[in-house]
Chain A
Amino acid sequence: MPGVRILVGTKKGAFILTADGKRKKWTVSGPHFAGWEIYHLKGSTVDPNRIYASQTSSWFGQIIQRSDDGGRTWHQPGSAGDPGPVSDGNGMPKGASNKFVYDTSAETGKPLTTHQWYDGTQHPWEFARVWHLEPSLSDADTVYAGVEDAALFRTTDGGQSWHELAGLRGHESGPRWQPGAGGMCLHTIVLDAGNPDRIFVAISAAGAFRSEDGGKTWRPINQGLHSQYIPDPNAEVGHCVHRIAIHPTRPNVLFMQKHWDVMRSDDSGDSWHEVSGNLPSDFGFPIAVHAHEPETIYVVPIQSDSLHYPPEGKLRVYRSRSGGNEWEALTKGLPQKDCYVNILRDAMAVDTLEPCGIYFGTTGGQVYASADDGDSWTAIVRDLPAVLSVETQVLP
């Protein structure tokens, strides 16, 4: 029977939850990297034992961790304990797996550019952390990293070294990008299984971008998005996109949870229309697509951008089986009173088993699972640190 592995990043370490295909009895391991913020962990679909983790600290900076045995042991690629080379031959840096430096080379980069600061002035790009790691769909050693301040990096040597795909940050709209309250982060990376040259990313608060040449060049794809805080209704950038999701068999259909509004595009992001429909609030962070039903999508409405908790204190996942507009509340097993947690943008995922499993983590430390398309929910764990990210792996 196949099994499921849930990778959970929290404010104080990583946890790995495992179960067989019934998804009834769970084993919890962790905390891994205790005391550190684990913004994201994600496994390779090419090699499920290969998992990458973003370990960060405002004291000590960015660490990249890698496991080659499904999360039992970890090491920093290229550093002591890793079988790979530990030096680049130039004497430094040996700890290059931790090194995220914006590309300012004459060949591929530009002089370090500036972006808009909170007060409207220009501010130089400053690296803070890796928000999201997206392993390639065809090579376990290739991984994309979305970072704050917003930029896209890539490794092709299993995380030993990272290089910026500078065309994104160097886009002419860069000086107009601005940080949201959480920082100016590239938090979403979506790869197209049928077209390795196509990449979608989302940045708060710049918007969504698409590359058709493997990340070399980019174009904003934000037409149809409307943001109250931007006076120009047709603004090319400046939108606070919270999350984008696609179904692998329909890469031209994108679903988006924006700051406010749930949106849909049927033309690879060239245009968007709102599908918030009857949601009690269209503010929220994550959005996910059912593994087997491309028109079935999930969101978790949040009261507002000022009140980051569920409306009426009721934790409700909303499901649309029509690709948006018509939504039903899924409440069985979820607290329906006095619940004031948040669900962050990277903290919802689906598995590919039958029926589809849906998982999400909360800032209150619960990880909820549904093994029946969302009809009913149980808490796998209730008392973890605040959950930052949730990813799934189906194991043979």
Chain B
Amino acid sequence: MTSPATIRIVLPHHLRTLANVDGEVALAVAAPVTRSAILDALEDRYPMLCGTIRDHVTRERRPKLRFYANEEDITHESPDLPLPAAICSGAKPLLIVGAISGG
């Protein structure tokens, strides 16, 4: 059995404030490392984020958020697919990005 990997996550500004964290978040996530597994671990560690990234019930991504992994947009890929090795090893962070605010 492999020990959980330490995954890095970059949250949008307002979610960092909400979770009371500075900079990146680092979480232990057991393999297979998927977007769902990372969000499960994130919400487990920071319960105030429940419902802010994905719906409480349907677990669907909130419409104005996107996910980037290893410089690729994975927003529309299945949340249950294994993520790139660079994310799984912690070499690169999973980016959770809010839509640009205009005005």
Contact = CB atoms under 8 A, between A and B. Distances in A.
Contacts of B98: 59-60
Report the interface size class on chain B: 20 to 34
B12 A59 contact: yes
B24 interface: no
A113 interface: no
Interface string B76-97: 0000000000000000000000
5 contacts: A35-B14, A59-B14, A80-B47, A80-B48, A93-B51
A95 B47 contact: yes
Interface residues of A, number: 25
Interface of A: 34-36, 57-63, 76, 78-81, 86-87, 92-96, 98-99, 101
A181 B57 CA distance: 27
Contacts of A60: 12, 14-15, 18, 52-53, 62, 65, 98
A94 B47 contact: yes
Contact of A93 (B47, B62, B65): B47
A101 B57 CA distance: 8
Contacts, number: 69
Contacts of B56: 93, 95, 98-99, 101
Contacts of B52: 60-61, 63, 98
By secondary structure, the A interface counts as: loop
B65 A95 contact: no
B50 A93 contact: yes
Given A59-B99, A80-B20, A93-B50, 15 more contacts: A57-B14, A58-B64, A60-B18, A60-B62, A60-B65, A60-B98, A61-B52, A62-B51, A63-B52, A87-B47, A92-B43, A93-B51, A94-B50, A95-B43, A95-B51
Nearest to B44: A94
B47 A86 contact: yes
Nearest to A96: B50
B52 to A, nearest CB: 4
A95 B50 contact: yes
A134 to B, nearest CB: 22
Nearest to B48: A79
Contacts of B68: none
Given A80-B48, A93-B50, A59 B18 contact: no
